[in-house]
């Protein structure tokens, strides 16, 4: 689980996530897919916790609210649903 905060600052979005340590590549890929450009990233760690602080430029094709953005980022920290044992292919 992660604590996610997003807010608008002029033409940019300030995004902060606090979570267990994880590579930021997944978040960056998500942000880029949402038409947000990473202008600055600060990473602060303590034990197994990490704070990512992003400054993002809002792309012309980005139509998300900051609440929607926070929800998308929060969901990216959730583990993928486990495959149900009955959901396998039979040949």
Per residue in 38-79, pLDDT (tens digit) is 999 999 999 999 999 999 998 888 888 889 888 888 888 776
Q: What is the pLDDT of residues 2-31, one digit of tens each?
A: 899 999 988 899 999 999 877 788 889 999
Number of domains in the chain: 1
Q: Tell me the pTM.
A: 0.77
Tell me how many helices (H) and strands (E) the chain has: 2, 4
38: in domain:
yes
Residue 89, classed as helix, strand or coil, is coil
CATH at 54 = 3.30.70
85: in domain:
no
Sheet holding 36-46, edge to edge: 2-9, 12-20, 49-58, 36-46
10: in domain:
yes
25: in domain:
yes
């Amino acid at each position: 689980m992660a604590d996610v905060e997003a807010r608008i600052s002029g033409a940019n979005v300030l995004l902060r996530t606090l979570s267990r340590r994880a590579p930021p590549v997944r978040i960056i890929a998500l942000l880029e897919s949402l038409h947000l450009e990473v202008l600055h990233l600060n990473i602060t760690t303590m034990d197994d916790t990490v704070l990512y602080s992003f400054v993002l430029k809002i792309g012309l094709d980005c139509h998300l609210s900051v609440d929607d953005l926070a929800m998308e980022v929060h969901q990216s920290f959730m583990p993928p649903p486990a495959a149900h044992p009955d959901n396998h292919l039979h040949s």
